[in-house]
Structure 1
Amino acid sequence: MIWKQQMKKASVVRFMDKIAFTLGMLECCCTPWVISQYPEWIPFVHTFQSSILIVVRYFLYKRKSWHFFLLDMCYFVNVVVIMYLYVFPQSQALLGAVWLLSHGPLAFAIVTWRNSLVLHSLDKVTSVYIHMSPPITLYVVRWLYPDPNYTRFSALKDMPVLPTSSSLTYAIALYLTWQVAYYVFVVVRQKEKIKAGKRVTSYTWLLNDPKAGVISKVAHTFGEKYSIITFMGMQLIYTFVTCLFALLSYKYFRLNTVFLVGLFLVSVWNGASYYMEVFSKQYEKQLNKLAEEVSSAVAANQRAHDSAGAGAGETTGNGDRHSSVEAEPQKSASAKKDD
């Protein structure tokens, strides 16, 4: 279609990337302002933006058969955080669990999986957002929310620190609930589709990705057959260890602040590395490829047009010759009549 060809033009791609970059920068500027001036808006902002980004990602990933990625733990934690914000704000057990999971494995994933703040890339911005926004939202609820009587989030009342044992228990219980469900409904029931390459999961991606390095090697310690089980065990240990740090972040405001700022800087640094080392080369290749595709499409259309024109001309020529042949008998008949 014409509009698809237009969208592939290098000039259009550049323009769309500029818009995406501008919106991303606007987000980075506006979020701190909202936090400082209207912290009570943050839960709604998080819910609205994360919902849009996840829905858009679903449709984009669905076309590539990547939609099983949306069953990963990070999306599960995002859903549970929203449940706490709107359904169970009075539950201290759920507060402890979502705080540990969001400030633990979810937040540390920015470092572990090198999430990059690449402002023109919707995919990379979404990855940073779903890992960064839940802990920031809970940070605002914990430290900055203008509700001294705790009428909105009553679970915070009389809980200056998280109870270690119960919070860890509920957090790990939530994690295991997700892990068991994921193993049954994805790893087992979708095994044939995954094996045939019809579906891609984070497990198959990470375990077969050379960039995963040490993680992939350790997961294959007991062989290919047990690599997924081994990886699940590694992830459980990772979740538990990172949750231990999250206990401290709930207790100390400065530590929590420095931690979140540090995570943001890591994502920015990863984004800068991507721009300098990867994107500059890939972008030029991508634009050249798009230009070649558009040129090929235009050339094909031109050839088709020329062929159609030539065919029409040939038909007209045949018609003229046919008319001339018909005219000859008429001319002969007239000559005989004159004789």
Structure 2
Amino acid sequence: MSSSDEFMEDLNSSGDSYGTVHRRFKDRAQKVAKTKEMLSKQAVQTKEMLSKQAVKIAKQAEEHERFINKVTHLLGVLGFGGFCFLLGARPQDIPYVYCVFYVTFVPLRWIYYRFKKWHYYLLDFCYYANTIFLVDLLLYPKNEKFFMICFSFAEGPLAWALIVWRCSLVFSSVDKIISVLIHLLPGIVFFTIRWWNPATFEAMHPEGTSHRFSWPYVEDKSYLWTWLFVVPLAAYTLWQVLYFLIVNVLRRQRLLRDPEVMTSYRELSKKAQKANNIWWRLSGLLGDQNRLFMYILLQAIFTVATMALTVPIFLSYELHAIFQILKVSASVWNGGSFLLEVLPRQVIVKEKKKSEKQVPPASQNQHDQHSEENGSSGIHQHRSE
């Protein structure tokens, strides 16, 4: 056999092997594509099934709404009373109660908010801060600097949001209870750690002295302002940048396509416009096209002011205790306002909608007969023409 024949055979064999490999890759790509298509179909079917189940559960809950509200109210009052007892009997266990609350109810809230198209609320600063609290309490409980950052978040923007945004403690509403506790509990947790921790509480000065030990103990004011104001403000700025990129850049088209998807800015601007209150007027100082920028600016001013107020609260036990009472009182007061002013109007609207949906059988039959008569006369008229 000549060398040219051997070369041609090698070429043919290499060509066959290349074709075989090419077919294998093609078959594998087709299998991957089919698998992706099958998985996407299964995902769509699962989503539809879960959506139907959620609608079914929501309808059943609506049918038994009064009973569910009574049970929720009972459990809410008992739970609040038990928490108050534990706060006095074993304050060192309050951080663990908070951790159990967070890992239990926040995932459930995500599921509920995802169904209601409110899941972008979980990108708000309060959830960002609460996640940091959880890391501090579980992983770095003895880190003084981390504690001070968390203290600034808890007794700064989160605490004052209870008062400014009028969070309502309504024991018959799970959603309102969780909203209040997300803002209220962290401050109580860090209050107990700073002032009521048995390790420092038992080491108070003897009678006749006006000072008490606390953790962490800080003498240098520059150190105090650094870890209660400057560093927390930097962490807040990081959150604001990330929030803007996610909601207003990466998910912008998604939000524009579906106006039912709610964000904090959408809800606040909608309520402010309806009420035509001071927030709506302030956000429009630079024109309607710059309302988002003004909203971010107003929120930043609010954060700076509330974080600055954490410094005197951190230094004074009396001031800190009064602040806890103020937060709880504001939540309970707002809850009373909701029950006496808002809830009756909501009940009237719901009953009106129910009465409109439920048409009496007699009137329904008369309506059907009237429709049949009109239909038959219309047919006769059409035939005569």
TM-score of the aligned structures, taking structure 2 as reference length = 0.70
Q: Which residue of 2 aligns with 1:315?
A: none
Q: Which residue of 1 aligns with 2:40?
A: none
Pair 1:86-2:150 in alignment: no
* 1:92 Cα deviation from its structure 2 partner: 2.4
For 1:4 and 1:181, the matched residues in 2 are separated by 34
Alignment of 1:54-69 (within 5 A): 54-69=106-121
* 1:54 Cα deviation from its structure 2 partner: 1.5
For 1:242 and 1:194, the matched residues in 2 are separated by 31
Query: Closer, same or farther in 2 for the Cα pair 1:272/1:149, shift >3 Å?
Result: closer
Identity of aligned residues (%): 26
Indicate conservation of the 8 Å contact 2:156/2:303, yes or no: yes
In the TM superposition, what whole-angstrom CA distance separates every residue of 1:140-168 from its partner, at most 9, and x where no partner exists? 11111222399xxxx93443787123421
Identify unmatched segments of 5+ residues in structure 1: 304-339
Residue correspondences, number: 292
Pair 1:240-2:240 in alignment: no
Alignment of 1:278-293 (within 5 A): 278-286=342-350, 289=353
Query: Closer, same or farther in 2 for the Cα pair 1:253/1:14, shift >3 Å?
Result: same
Q: Secondary structure at the match of 1:159?
A: coil
In the TM superposition, what whole-angstrom CA distance separates every residue of 1:306-336 from its partner, at most 9, and x where no partner exists? xxxxxxxxxxxxxxxxxxxxxxxxxxxxxxx
Counterpart of 2:256, as a letter, is: K
Which of 260, 264, 267 is the matching residue for 2:331? 267
Query: Closer, same or farther in 2 for the Cα pair 1:148/1:52, shift >3 Å?
Result: same
Which of 162, 172, 176 is the matching residue for 2:233? 172
Indicate conservation of the 8 Å contact 2:200/2:215, yes or no: no
Query: Closer, same or farther in 2 for the Cα pair 1:142/1:184, shift >3 Å?
Result: same
* 1:39 Cα deviation from its structure 2 partner: 1.2
Q: Which residue of 1 aligns with 2:171?
A: 119
Query: Closer, same or farther in 2 for the Cα pair 1:97/1:248, shift >3 Å?
Result: same
Counterpart of 1:254, as a letter, is: E
Q: Which residue of 2 aligns with 1:99?
A: 151
Pair 1:187-2:245 in alignment: no
Identify unmatched segments of 5+ residues in structure 2: 1-52, 203-213, 366-385
Query: Closer, same or farther in 2 for the Cα pair 1:144/1:72, shift >3 Å?
Result: same
Q: Which residue of 2 aligns with 1:202?
A: 264
Q: Which residue of 2 aligns with 1:156?
A: 215
Higher relative contact order (CA 8 A, sep 6+): 1
For 1:233 and 1:157, the matched residues in 2 are separated by 33
Q: Secondary structure at the match of 2:198?
A: coil
* 1:287 Cα deviation from its structure 2 partner: 5.1
* 1:199 Cα deviation from its structure 2 partner: 2.5
Q: Secondary structure at the match of 1:125?
A: helix
Pair 1:231-2:295 in alignment: yes
Counterpart of 2:322, as a letter, is: V
For 2:313 and 2:97, the matched residues in 1 are separated by 23
Query: Closer, same or farther in 2 for the Cα pair 1:289/1:207, shift >3 Å?
Result: closer
| Structure 1 range deviating more: 160-169 or 52-61 | 160-169
Indicate conservation of the 8 Å contact 1:94/1:170, yes or no: no
Q: Which residue of 1 aligns with 2:16?
A: none
